[in-house]
Structure 1
């Protein structure tokens, strides 16, 4: 234990022993504003966070609630805590431990802009005031609970003020040499517990109480490891291996891995982390993580390549339902591919039951399989696209491959983006908060949310639909974001196809967001372009996806040639997964294979013809040896007519007798397209146009 931690532990222990000797009671003073007071909580005397903290701590503690609604830390704020009777009473209480949670009211425009420079000194004064009491209490301060973007002042300066105050609280903790409890996480992942975007329900107050209880008692529930730890886990090769987890305060953590033993001590918040040097592929290795009284032993740990497969139903589409499933399940098993599935507990075309509503939150929504070997039984219910990708990858690189799938059928892209990202622009704030039949939300998605959630009003359950913005990020990405992965494969868009432009903006946010959270600004992100179906916007949507290739370190697998006129779930999944693997093999593993079909490069005007140049167009031809189909041409008036086309040395010449001065071309825009352009390798051309509307 380092000297700083030892000093803190001795101080807390001394106060506790002193209090027990004097009165057998440890006094805890909860200082704060309306969140501490319990504003808006039914039966707050029993359900506010200090009341629930009392229940957790037990009879040897006396917890007093000194919260005052509207109070500011600022002495010159509109309602200074310093002037309130509860402040005086908190001093007279002679506490052993003081918990301060103030700042939420300081962020308002009536306080922060004028007095922000005084916040630190006022806070330090308060800490000193309590420390100098005759009882010499231990003072612990708190980062603020969330202020959500639905608050009417959020975009009027509160968003920025909140961040400034949170940063200052961390700095104050260092300057005052006091510990800081982070009350922002995990509450930030539970907006359903904040009906007015500021005050928690009793469920939110319970989370606060548990966080404070851990800080006071040091009890964080013993040794715990992240979701993705377990037998047959695959760690990312050639990358620092960070083992992380939680345990009780000051526990000694010992890790044995790859014949190396390392130790550390858990911090004030119960967190621990140990880093191992990057390793080459191999295994199985034995991993043991232990405290003085608990040990977790994982016998089979592999080092190889780890990929995340995500999106909606076409990524979730199971192997047993794909074309040639029987052959795959018999002849394409691969013992060096390891599967990890995260399945949603609530997906229905009916009203959610109470049990399903109870699972609609960031903690409970996903049910995980654990790492599984590739057997027929395990593979039947795994993602067909994800497995095909991993299978073809492993066959080429010949090392262990781990594939994680957390795709959710019907999910729109906004449900996979983090709240911190969605709260940054006015457009996404609107989408985040206006969720009831929002015209920017795909009509099927909006109606499904309403249908599923009909029972919520008849229960006391606080739930959030998996299709609502940020839900699946909170439930499915947050728990795995610290796990090392090589890259992402993504098959989604069906639930955003009515709004191509909005989807493009959100997709760019998604990629940037995940790269930030996985701590890799160059994280490979390979996606599937939607297939063909008779839905009106799908042609334009496919082209909008093609334009997303402007994002660095992305790749796109075209699937328009394996679609179905009426079925949104086409069954030729092996083709799609294999095309994704070709992208990864070329871009990440230095194989020289062709990985893309023809992609529009530029268009030249030559008389009454257009010359269309492509990338990846070697051996440009048609799949059936017939003329080019589903191609149109237009002049500056943008009225498209069917065109004739001829392939000449990998260049596509396009014309029409109806168009004298051609400017624009469209290919594959018919929703269920019969476009037949391919390259030498048989990879299909993407839907394209040089018209940007």
Structure 2
């Protein structure tokens, strides 16, 4: 018995040893067959400016992400050009030879930044594509089964000393050539520009070329996602939630991210569309247009065994409400808020609200580290679609809520309002970066914004207060040029909408001429993002006892005639002499709604107050009569039939002189002694004004200054 047991024991021991030997042998063989990854590039790949490139460069971080089955080599050479005749050609470097000798299975090529030097692409541009093709062919000769990825370059930001003179020009051309190389070679292209163009805080050296430690981490993540196809599974853009409204009579666009190569299926209202997720993990598809419907629908999104269901979706009109604090001003703060809140549960059942709430208020406080980090990560806005009730309405923009309610009632269709506003934000923070970079006037604003006269002193001081605890010299803020576009607008751009209502300008009022040049750039920026000629209906600044506001209001009046498909509403009759946040917001929402009903929905109603048209001067020996002609002047009168106020004349010496004015039909007449030589007529020409000219619709006339010819 003992002998039999010993025999069994010895046999098991022998088998165990054999299995262990096989396991060690197989494991060793597998380890010997590591997938070799060659990271080819310049100083961005090498990790120049990093404290320890050996552990902090993107190839080093990528190695940790990929794990022991991979061997990642850093073959970056600082200053290297792709061009063979460039000032420092990569093909002559020791790193290139080592990369070839590795016989890599995967090659990631990120070259081109140094070719933007005037010594390179400007002289040898015709060789760029042939030289790039040669480099690719050389790696294929080293390993016929090699998989090659080429990268569009990381951005060069405006801090670069040659940005405007030459670098930006050659950079764009090199990027275009890289795209051509990818098409010619049928190679996957990793768009590093798209992943970094809105993150200047990640490329912070003086020439704005090299990713910092956090930037190298992001760079490694982007490369990892593309070569593994792992983008974290199915995710929807955050504008898609329960209770949303989709724009009627336009194709329904849905987008998000998912693992590359998988299939996303979207079903809605009896239609289903599928799309294969592309290499970059970003998918989008389009469903047929639908007519307005208040019947709740469900949307189902499926991918790789995961399903997302969005419930209670309506089809109607979607409006975007944006700007600064007076658009942010909530229902609960507004005059007659009780009347709005009392009826909120009885508000049109077809009204839906999306409140993109701010991570932190831009009050006179220091932000903590958590807020500062989230701001840098563009995580400043968050929200979801809500049905109107006392809580959601109370926290929503008073102007936007009243506007949406008016449209929903008058048109009897579902209306969705997206509110995205930031208190104190300057206009330049809402313009996309590319539009600013491509504009010689506004490009300098992107560099060192906290010390730039492109922002009013108040904005710079408040941003500095919020950022006082930051140790990051490149810390971002919602007042920074392009920030609110990148953190908010870019995430919803493309969602079909009906139009925009806009209330902003208080933080730009000290420099009306500059605003006048930026406003058309801003409008064009958003229209390009949406690929729509979006109507913009905006609010003129109210009355406030500040010396520049009369000039600014007059500029805003003129802009509606210079920028097509825009229109302004007047609020000078509602303002408060000391309070920029006057509480009387219900009339503002209703006036904006009037404009939309007239201009967008083509309902024949008056939507503007008396508008200055021209001046006629009649002089006799005894007197001078100035006749001011107005359009939209039906029933021209004064508010509450009080004596007409607000008209003055400016003499040749620049003195403002009060005059008695009277109404005659659709004109206003002023009688002066012939001794007064008049150069201009002004109306409401004070920061705070109670000028009282209105028409039969009760709509006020705008501040204006008109020179006599």
Q: What range is the shorter-chain TM-score in? A: over 0.9
2:308 match: secondary structure: strand
Q: d(CA) in 2 for partners of 1:461 and 1:165?
A: 30
> Could you tell me which residue of structure 2 aligns to residue 65 of structure 1?
74
- Among candidates 628, 636, 648, match of residue 612 of structure 1: 628
Q: Rate the CA distance shift 1:286–1:461 in 2: closer, same or farther, 3 A.
A: farther
- Among candidates 274, 284, 287, match of residue 296 of structure 2: 284
Q: d(CA) in 1 for partners of 2:271 and 2:596?
A: 33
Kept in 2, the 8 Å contact 1:264–1:273? The answer is yes
Kept in 1, the 8 Å contact 2:81–2:88? The answer is yes
Within-5 A mapping of 1:663-674: 663-674=679-690
Kept in 1, the 8 Å contact 2:275–2:285? The answer is yes
> Could you tell me which residue of structure 2 aligns to residue 363 of structure 1?
378
Give TM-score scaled by structure 1 length: 0.94
- Among candidates 584, 592, 611, match of residue 580 of structure 1: 592
1:414 match: secondary structure: helix
Q: d(CA) in 1 for partners of 2:421 and 2:29?
A: 53
Within-5 A mapping of 1:143-222: 143-196=152-205, 197-222=208-233
Q: d(CA) in 1 for partners of 2:545 and 2:676?
A: 32
> Could you tell me which residue of structure 2 aligns to residue 32 of structure 1?
41
1:360 match: secondary structure: helix
> Could you tell me which residue of structure 2 aligns to residue 300 of structure 1?
312
Given the alignment of the two structures, is residue 465 of structure 1 paired with residue 485 of structure 2, yes or no?
Answer: no
Q: Rate the CA distance shift 1:631–1:297 in 2: closer, same or farther, 3 A.
A: same
> Could you tell me which residue of structure 2 aligns to residue 533 of structure 1?
544
Within-5 A mapping of 1:323-472: 323-332=335-344, 333-347=347-361, 348-368=363-383, 370-457=384-471, 463-472=475-484
Q: d(CA) in 2 for partners of 1:24 and 1:302?
A: 55
> Could you tell me which residue of structure 1 aligns to residue 334 of structure 2?
322
1:254 match: secondary structure: strand
Q: d(CA) in 1 for partners of 2:117 and 2:136?
A: 22
Given the alignment of the two structures, is residue 269 of structure 1 paired with residue 271 of structure 2, yes or no?
Answer: no
Q: Rate the CA distance shift 1:293–1:659 in 2: closer, same or farther, 3 A.
A: farther
- Among candidates 570, 576, 580, match of residue 582 of structure 2: 570
CA-atom RMSD in angstroms: 1.8
Deviates more, 1:478-487 or 1:676-685: 478-487
1:239 match: secondary structure: coil
Q: d(CA) in 1 for partners of 2:235 and 2:475?
A: 26
- Among candidates 490, 497, 515, match of residue 503 of structure 1: 515
Q: d(CA) in 1 for partners of 2:188 and 2:355?
A: 38
> Could you tell me which residue of structure 2 aligns to residue 7 of structure 1?
none
Q: d(CA) in 2 for partners of 1:642 and 1:440?
A: 36
Q: Which 4+ runs in 1 deviate beyond 6 A? A: 19-22
Q: Rate the CA distance shift 1:588–1:482 in 2: closer, same or farther, 3 A.
A: same
1:456 match: secondary structure: coil
Q: d(CA) in 1 for partners of 2:252 and 2:671?
A: 57
Post-superposition offset of 1:659: 5.4
> Could you tell me which residue of structure 2 aligns to residue 83 of structure 1?
92
Q: d(CA) in 2 for partners of 1:250 and 1:378?
A: 40
Cα deviations by residue, 1:301-328 (Å, 9 ceiling, x for unpaired): 1110001111111000010010011111
Q: d(CA) in 1 for partners of 2:42 and 2:637?
A: 71
> Could you tell me which residue of structure 2 aligns to residue 13 of structure 1?
none
Deviates more, 1:265-274 or 1:491-500: 265-274
Given the alignment of the two structures, is residue 647 of structure 1 paired with residue 629 of structure 2, yes or no?
Answer: no
Post-superposition offset of 1:212: 1.0
Post-superposition offset of 1:140: 0.7
Deviates more, 1:677-686 or 1:56-65: 56-65
> How many aligned residue pairs are there?
671
Q: d(CA) in 2 for partners of 1:461 and 1:150?
A: 14
Given the alignment of the two structures, is residue 489 of structure 1 paired with residue 504 of structure 2, yes or no?
Answer: no
Post-superposition offset of 1:628: 2.2
Post-superposition offset of 1:335: 2.1
Post-superposition offset of 1:195: 1.3
Deviates more, 1:315-324 or 1:620-629: 620-629
Kept in 2, the 8 Å contact 1:642–1:656? The answer is no
- Among candidates 558, 565, 585, match of residue 553 of structure 1: 565
Q: d(CA) in 1 for partners of 2:143 and 2:581?
A: 71
Given the alignment of the two structures, is residue 45 of structure 1 paired with residue 57 of structure 2, yes or no?
Answer: no
Unaligned runs of 5+ in 1: 1-18
> Could you tell me which residue of structure 1 aligns to residue 104 of structure 2?
95
2:356 match: secondary structure: strand
Given the alignment of the two structures, is residue 690 of structure 1 paired with residue 701 of structure 2, yes or no?
Answer: no
Q: d(CA) in 1 for partners of 2:439 and 2:652?
A: 35
